[in-house]
Chains A and B, each alone.
Chain A
């Protein structure tokens, strides 16, 4: 079951983040970014689908990707807390994306040559998407951090707000088929700090990091998000279109 659990952790990270990004649809500051955020959302939801489908196959209990996405409760979701953090504003959203993609790009890179052909296939597609997310979100971090007084203040507020959440991403998963996230931490910190330096932003002092997502212990916001996301399948079980 180690592989099943590891796949669910990863799939939940992607789906929850994709749902958060989808909330921007129609609300982004400009049309160009509205499409960019929808593109981000569709990338990660696409990856989530592949991971759920594979998890369902590994589990072997006849569940489908939709069952896993729509019919599990909050406590069964194993995503890290970072991805469920609310959008707040454009700065928070871009920073959250940058933190996530900066881990997932090297993660998938390390998985491209996995002996597990399904994982290698998912990785080959996702690695390019994550490289673009790093680039696009990174550009915004530089421009907001080094932009106007207002944009800089928002970026700094986002950094403070998300600082207790990034470390949990590196919680090791007990599964040999997937790359070790903990080993990617120093590279992640170096890359993030390089972009911060370019943006004139300071890396904050260490704070108490929140954990629990991998055990199904979430912040209040996830329940509300899931009730929105799962409403249709819960209210009309088996509905299709």
Chain B
């Protein structure tokens, strides 16, 4: 199926200072049309100030079958969460 229009993943940054967040995917023939389509499909309601688009086949994904070995070992290591520290009141809300 090499004639199929490539799939792209779209990331939108809602405001300056925030990170680009994955919002969905779309089909487009090339970079320029992917950005154009992303603008038309995903920013119709003032959702963003910046768009990233990346070919879906350029993304390396973890194997769901290995979710156990990847993520379960972190389960019993609650000491990695910074909840055991006393924070001085002057620091305020973190």
Contact = CB atoms under 8 A, between A and B. Distances in A.
The 9 closest A-B pairs by CB, nearest first: A32-B37, A36-B40, A35-B40, A136-B36, A35-B41, A32-B26, A39-B40, A139-B32, A32-B41
B29 to A, nearest CB: 7
Contacts of B36: 36, 135-136, 139
Interface string B37-81: 101110010000000000000000000000000000000000000
B20 interface: no
Given A31-B26, A136-B40, A139-B32, 9 more contacts: A30-B5, A30-B27, A32-B26, A32-B37, A32-B40, A32-B41, A39-B40, A39-B44, A136-B36
A139 B39 CA distance: 14
Interface of B: 5, 26-29, 32-33, 36-37, 39-41, 44
A147 to B, nearest CB: 9
15 contacts: A30-B27, A31-B26, A31-B41, A32-B26, A32-B27, A32-B37, A32-B40, A32-B41, A35-B44, A36-B36, A39-B44, A136-B36, A139-B33, A143-B29, A143-B33
Interface string A119-140: 0000000000000100110010
Interface in A78-119: none
B30 to A, nearest CB: 8
Interface of A: 30-33, 35-36, 39, 132, 135-136, 139, 143
A39 B65 CA distance: 42
A193 B11 CA distance: 35
Contacts of B39: 132
Contacts of B44: 35, 39
Contacts of A132: 39
Nearest to B30: A143
Contacts of A33: 37
A39 B36 CA distance: 12
Contacts of A136: 36, 40
A223 to B, nearest CB: 32
Nearest to A36: B40
A132 B32 CA distance: 12
B85 to A, nearest CB: 48
A135 B36 CA distance: 9
Contacts of B26: 31-32
A36 B5 CA distance: 17
A31 B24 CA distance: 13
A143 B32 CA distance: 11
A33 B34 CA distance: 11
A224 B27 CA distance: 35
Nearest to B37: A32
